[in-house]
Amino acid sequence: MDAISVIRDKRDRRELSGAQIDWIIDAYTRGVVADEQMSALAMAIFLNGMNRAEISRWTAAMIASGERMDFGGLSRPTADKHSTGGVGDKITLPLAPLVAACGAAVPQLSGRGLGHTGGTLDKLESIPGWRASLGNAELMEVLGSVGSVICAAGDGLAPADKRLYALRDVTGTVESLPLIASSIMSKKIAEGTGSLVLDVKTGSGAFMKNAEDARELAATMVELGQDHGVRTVALLTDMSTPLGRTAGNALEVREAVDVLSGGGPADVVELTVALAREMLAAAGLSGADPERALADGSAMDVWRRMIAAQGGDPSAPLPRAHEQHIVTAPVSGVLTRLDAYAVGLCAWRLGAGRARKEDPVQAGAGVELHAKPGDRILEGAPLFTLHTDTPDALPYAQEALTDAYDIGPSEAFAPSPLILDRVTA
């Protein structure tokens, strides 16, 4: 085998053999194939695609590049969830303890935000003392005693994907559907969960702007799960409007706690419960009632134990930004549109996100939404509150909201569903 032959085959639109895929992934992980060569292959895949057999074998090769976790010793069935990312997407925070309260074990390995989309670990790290990094033994201990854990993936899971993702990020090949699907699913399958529910988002604030592209990605990932023995289902959900009423780290934690307390925004509750039902059904626990677990406080109990088990203080005050700036409505009427990407960009500029993986984030920074589409608002009333520790960032952040919303007559508002479709094998 040699890298040039593999690159030429994909460049010339030929199907890669299983042996070629196994060799190139292993050789790249070991440093035998240079970054320049893998960059060329990634671009060839970006331009010419892969069929189902190629994507499945590529995913298997990335899984084989590292360790695979095993939760077979747990007394509960395991269920996990993955979101393709959005604005205000704090769903993992209430979802993991909610599903655990209903009888499943939830090994939620999560990531950090980059750009306008928020990261689950960044949000949780706004809780004083909370730790994202757990060794395998500690992860198993928390999972066994609490029922849910949210932490960073270890370096041993799919190391080939870690190298390849960093390369794609600087070579303009991130948007390749086969590479996106295999990147997500290699880590989730290596994680060892028995079942997986995918939240594939579409709209301005999502990675996949077009609904048909998002549906194709969902179908590809569901097929990959089935090919590798993981019960997998996907919900296609709308991300044209931010989820909930906050975008930012500590701001979103507060909102998640509201949901666990039996309140919270209707859209966050709706999606949390819908995903919980899917996870419980996939784990063979379809008789459990997630709405009851929210109402009776059992999900909140699991949340508090989970945070404490990872060194956090669930009763400690969350950080607040030093500066707040209120943006008011210029006219009276009904908010007919609120663009998710613009809100996410504003939160990022305020300090809630990062441009590079090594950049720090501000725990208290973000955007608070005082109205959602369909709400009536009066001229001069608060529309957004911007939170930041760097007041110099306020003008630049507010600029992102210039064309972010429309206010008009009530008949100009057309509500759309949050959950657009359900994709199965």
| CA–CA gap between residue 148 and residue 141 (Å, rounded) | 10
204 — pLDDT class (breaks 50, 70, 90)? very high
Nearest to 94 by CA among 309, 270, 337: 270
Number of Cβ atoms within 10 Å of the Cβ of 402: 8
User: Hey, what's the torsion of the CAs at 6, 12, 17, 21, to 10 degrees?
Assistant: 40
User: Looking at residues 216-237, what average pLDDT do you find?
Assistant: 96
- Check 90, 187, 277, 349 and give the catalytic one: 187
Question: Residue 409: which residues within 8 A CB-CB, separation 6 or more?
Answer: 333, 334
- What is the predicted pLDDT for the residue at 96? 98
- What is the predicted pLDDT for the residue at 172? 87
- What is the predicted pLDDT for the residue at 314? 97
From residue 134, how far is each of 59, 140, 146 by CA, in Å?
25, 9, 15
- What is the predicted pLDDT for the residue at 353? 87
Q: Annotated catalytic, 68?
A: no
Q: Are 60 and 159 in contact (CB under 8 A)?
A: no
Mean per-residue pLDDT over the chain, rounded: 95
- What is the predicted pLDDT for the residue at 112? 80
- Check 90, 123, 168, 245 and give the catalytic one: 168
- The angle subtended at Cα 197 by Cα 267 and Cα 233, nearest 5°, is 110
- Check 39, 65, 176, 183 and give the catalytic one: 183
Q: Annotated catalytic, 183?
A: yes
**Which DSSP category does 15 fall into?**
P
Number of Cβ atoms within 10 Å of the Cβ of 251: 32
- What is the predicted pLDDT for the residue at 356? 73
- End-to-end CA distance of the chain: give it in Å, rounded: 34
- Check 82, 162, 304, 349 and give the catalytic one: 82
360 — pLDDT class (breaks 50, 70, 90)? confident
402 — pLDDT class (breaks 50, 70, 90)? very high
Q: What is the pTM of this model?
A: 0.94
Q: Annotated catalytic, 123?
A: no
Number of Cβ atoms within 10 Å of the Cβ of 333: 18
User: Looking at residues 233-241, what average pLDDT do you find?
Assistant: 98
- What is the predicted pLDDT for the residue at 174? 83
Q: What domains does the chain contain, in order, with CATH numbers?
A: 3-49 (1.20.970.10), 80-156+168-180+191-309 (3.40.1030.10), 323-412 (3.90.1170.30)
Q: What is the pLDDT of residues 71-120, one digit of tens each?
A: 988 999 999 999 999 999 999 999 999 999 999 999 999 888 767 787 89
DSSP character string of 308-373: HHTT--TTSPPP--SEEEEEEPSS-EEEEEE-HHHHHHHHIIIIIS-SSTT----TT-EEEES--T
- What is the predicted pLDDT for the residue at 359? 80
User: Looking at residues 272-291, what average pLDDT do you find?
Assistant: 96
Question: Among the residues of 261-335, which ranges form H helices?
Answer: 266-282, 290-295, 298-309
Q: Annotated catalytic, 187?
A: yes
Q: Annotated catalytic, 161?
A: yes
Q: Are 374 and 413 in contact (CB under 8 A)?
A: yes
Percent of residues in the chain assigned helix, strand, coil, to nearest 5: 45, 15, 40
DSSP H or E segment with residue 320: none
406 — pLDDT class (breaks 50, 70, 90)? very high
DSSP character string of 402-416: TTSEEEE-GGG----
From residue 355, how far is each of 91, 133, 207, 403 by CA, in Å?
23, 22, 16, 22
Report whether pLDDT(344) > 90: yes
State both tokens at 298: 């059992």
Nearest to 150 by CA among 129, 120, 128: 120
Report whether pLDDT(128) > 90: yes
- What is the predicted pLDDT for the residue at 425? 85
CA atoms within 13 A on the CB side of 389: 13
CA atoms within 13 A on the CB side of 295: 5
- The angle subtended at Cα 76 by Cα 75 and Cα 77, nearest 5°, is 130
Name which of 108-122, 275-289, 370-384 the model is least confident about: 108-122
- What is the predicted pLDDT for the residue at 116? 78
Nearest to 375 by CA among 343, 332, 346, 315: 332
> What is the residue type of 229?
G
Q: Are 153 and 109 in contact (CB under 8 A)?
A: yes
- Check 80, 122, 161, 267 and give the catalytic one: 161
| CA–CA gap between residue 136 and residue 149 (Å, rounded) | 12
Nearest to 101 by CA among 313, 258, 267, 303: 303
- What is the predicted pLDDT for the residue at 153? 86
**Percent share of the chain, pLDDT over 90:** 89
DSSP H or E segment with residue 67: none
Report whether pLDDT(283) > 90: yes
